[in-house]
Chain A
Amino acid sequence: MHLIARARHGLLVSAALLVCGCAGHDSTPPVETGESDCPADVVVGDPSLSPELEPIVILPDGTWDDVADGDTIDLHTPLQGGKVILAGALVSNVLLQDCGRLRIGALLRDPSDPDERAVKNEERHVRYAPMADRPGWAAPVEINDERNMAPNLEACGFGAYDRDVENCPWILDIRLEDSATEDVLAEVRRSIVPTCPVDDPGDPGVPQELEQALCECQCAANYEAGRCDESDLATYVPPDPVCD
């Protein structure tokens, strides 16, 4: 199922920002800073039970989609170019403290590798707030932009994987880790198929009609810097898919 067609969430973001006292997208007023800006500690779900995770991918507008096994997910264009997967989770049975921060990890694993090695990983502290429409669960809060709502998995245009990223199956692991010890407290796995979105806001330096070709070029196997110059994109012909 293509997630772009699915119901989107994220209406709590505004409310959560008010709770947090942060400035959202208006960066002009000085912000009172420090721990006093943070909400009080809050229990979400039942901390006596094991934490639960539901994988999500963050969308460019700061909302998110759930990720079911086998889902196709849109790649995301970060400020630095290339393509990333913003993959995180909704959480339950946790104590939100320290400004609501939880340490969330994401690993992109290669299912064609016998050991399913991670080709990319990132772990970061993400701020969470309780979901008003789903008691017992918490969702990530957008403070700066959508990129801080989940780990940023550098998927295309950064390194040389020997198989395509786009339209090939990959394994996505999402972890909740102990903030201090980094011990894994909960982990979920999904099979995903990254894809180049048709309506990607994209790189402002690239004409819209070339966005698809740029994404396909950056996400093809064995990427090298300079391979996807704009002057070559108009005539770019994707190579045969390499998923194995």
Chain B
Amino acid sequence: MRNLTALLTLAAFAGACDQDRPDAPLAENEDVTLAPPATAEDGFQYVMPPYDVPAGSEVQNCYFFESPYDEDICVGEITVAQNPGTHHMNVFRLGTEYDLWGDPGDVVLGNSDTTSPCWRSSNWADWPILVNSQQSYADGFYDWTLPDGVAHKLKAHEVLMLQSHYVNANTQAGDHAVVYVNFDRVPCDDIQEVGTVFASNQGIDVCPGDVDVTFSASCGNDFPQDVTVIAANSHFHSRGTHFDIEAYDPVSGDYGDPFYENTSWDEPVMATDLDVVIPEGERLGWHCSYTYVDPVAPATCSDLGAGCCYVFGPSVETSEHCNMFAYYYPKVEDYSCI
């Protein structure tokens, strides 16, 4: 683990960046920027230390930072700005310490050539997701305003981890990683807290000849009361053709009609305007569909699973994912199904 405390630019309050959001396409070699909240009362900003992504490689780093406040706060809006080429950016709360760990200011480096715990992400089991985005500036800012009266709650100095994955190879081309995240505060009076569902089907495989093969599952204990899903997102790699999320009835064993669908593997836009009631006793289910394509050089079948199959793994070039993210209220608990 390398401590980059001195390099961290936790632009907690105003003054760290006085640029407004750019409203025009980035010029060549121009990095995205994002102005921080105006005051500490308005919120705080995390600025990930930029990193380069060598040609033909994938980099996935995990950055630990904390809420800068001495009191619990509520977050009602999250804005993310990422340089083009991002594969994903996930912000987690910390859970059980298992391989991956850090104090505020620490970074755990990872790439496809290492066995870094950040690359393996081996401890997702009880690390609740706070926000995720695969959206780069090319698609505009990611600006998630939660419904009135609904917010994420952060404890005083709660430690968070931002995982950033950039790819500069066949599937995606991002050679310089830049990520800003703004956490805008709202008053905590009469707030209903957001709960999250993060699920991953690790038993997938996509093999030669497969066309639209689908893996389906459900996650989490049944909701003990009606809850409302307000946002959802999906994540798979370039063999992914279709992703949907819906309610699942554990009595009948049937899935409901999808309230979230995505066919864009590399830039899935997070649905932030959902208002979907999941009835008491039901839970969330998800479907991931894939069509096989040959590995692209320099990757070969030897980089894939047996049978030249893509199996679950972090490498965009040589493996697949089937990850579902959902955000709901009122919070029962943060569910992880991996």
- A25 CA / B306 CA spacing, docked (Å): 5
Q: With A78-B202, A144-B205 in contact, do A26 and B214 touch (Cβ < 8 Å)?
A: no
Q: Is the CB of A84 within 8 A of B95?
A: no
- CB-CB under 8 A from B140, the residues of chain A are none
Q: Is the CB of A145 within 8 A of B209?
A: no
- A78 CA / B312 CA spacing, docked (Å): 12
Q: Is B210 part of the binding interface, using a Cβ–Cβ cutoff of 8 Å?
A: yes
- Which residue from A21, A27, A33 sits with its C-beta under 8 Å from B294? A33
Within the complex, the shortest CB–CB distance from B220 to chain A, in Å, comes to: 7
Highest count of chain B CB atoms <10 Å: which of A33, A127, A182: A33
Compute the total of residue contacts between A and B using a CB distance below 8 Å: 153
- A164 CA / B139 CA spacing, docked (Å): 48
Q: With A23-B301, A125-B214, A143-B309 in contact, do A38 and B95 touch (Cβ < 8 Å)?
A: no
Interface residues on A, range: 35 or more
- CB-CB under 8 A from A225, the residues of chain B are 95-96, 98, 123, 125-126
Q: Is the CB of B302 within 8 A of A28?
A: yes
Q: Mark A148-164, 1 if CB is under 8 A from B, else 0.
A: 10001010001110000
- CB-CB under 8 A from B281, the residues of chain A are 117
- CB-CB under 8 A from A224, the residues of chain B are 126
Q: Is A238 part of the binding interface, using a Cβ–Cβ cutoff of 8 Å?
A: no
The stretch of B39-47, B148-156, B183-191, B247-255 in contact with A is B247-255
- Which residue from B211, B217, B221, B307 sits with its C-beta under 8 Å from A22? B307
- CB-CB under 8 A from A33, the residues of chain B are 208-209, 292-294, 308
Within the complex, the shortest CB–CB distance from B277 to chain A, in Å, comes to: 20
- CB-CB under 8 A from A23, the residues of chain B are 208, 301, 306-308
Q: Is B16 part of the binding interface, using a Cβ–Cβ cutoff of 8 Å?
A: no
Q: Is the CB of B308 within 8 A of A27?
A: yes
Q: Interface majority SS on A: helix, strand, loop or mixed?
A: loop
The residues in B between 302 and 327 inclusive whose CB is less than 8 angstroms from any CB of A are 302, 304-309, 311-312
Interface size on B, residues (CB 8 A): 48
Q: Is B338 part of the binding interface, using a Cβ–Cβ cutoff of 8 Å?
A: yes
- CB-CB under 8 A from B202, the residues of chain A are 78-80
- A143 CA / B221 CA spacing, docked (Å): 32
The residues in B between 113 and 170 inclusive whose CB is less than 8 angstroms from any CB of A are 123, 125-126
Q: Mark B321-338, 1 if CB is under 8 A from A, else 0.
A: 000000000000000011
Within the complex, the shortest CB–CB distance from A185 to chain B, in Å, comes to: 14
- A215 CA / B150 CA spacing, docked (Å): 40
Q: Is the CB of A158 within 8 A of B215?
A: no
Q: Is B298 part of the binding interface, using a Cβ–Cβ cutoff of 8 Å?
A: no
Within the complex, the shortest CB–CB distance from B187 to chain A, in Å, comes to: 33
- CB-CB under 8 A from B225, the residues of chain A are none
Highest count of chain A CB atoms <10 Å: which of B96, B98, B208, B300: B208
Q: Is the CB of A117 within 8 A of B250?
A: yes
- Which residue from B207, B307, B337 sits with its C-beta under 8 Å from A25? B307
Q: Is A173 part of the binding interface, using a Cβ–Cβ cutoff of 8 Å?
A: yes
Q: Is B261 part of the binding interface, using a Cβ–Cβ cutoff of 8 Å?
A: no
- A176 CA / B182 CA spacing, docked (Å): 47
The residues in A between 45 and 93 inclusive whose CB is less than 8 angstroms from any CB of B are 78-80, 84
Q: With A107-B253, A147-B203 in contact, do A122 and B217 touch (Cβ < 8 Å)?
A: yes
Q: Is B238 part of the binding interface, using a Cβ–Cβ cutoff of 8 Å?
A: no
Q: Is A138 part of the binding interface, using a Cβ–Cβ cutoff of 8 Å?
A: no
Within the complex, the shortest CB–CB distance from A2 to chain B, in Å, comes to: 25
- CB-CB under 8 A from A80, the residues of chain B are 202, 312, 338
- Which residue from A29, A38, A79, A173 sits with its C-beta under 8 Å from B253? A173
- A22 CA / B220 CA spacing, docked (Å): 36
- Which residue from B97, B203, B306, B311 sits with its C-beta under 8 Å from A24? B306
Which residue of A is nearest B96, CB measured?
Answer: A226
Binding site for A on B (CB under 8 A): 95-98, 123, 125-126, 201-205, 207-211, 213-218, 220-222, 248, 250-251, 253, 255, 281, 292-294, 300-302, 304-309, 311-312, 337-338
Apart from A31-B294, A121-B216, what are 11 other A-B pairs with CB-CB below 8 Å? A21-B208, A22-B207, A23-B301, A30-B300, A31-B301, A35-B211, A78-B203, A101-B210, A117-B281, A118-B253, A125-B210
A-B contact pairs, 20 of them (CB 8 A): A22-B209, A30-B294, A31-B308, A80-B338, A98-B211, A105-B253, A118-B250, A118-B253, A121-B253, A122-B215, A124-B216, A125-B213, A143-B207, A143-B307, A144-B205, A144-B207, A145-B306, A158-B125, A159-B220, A226-B96
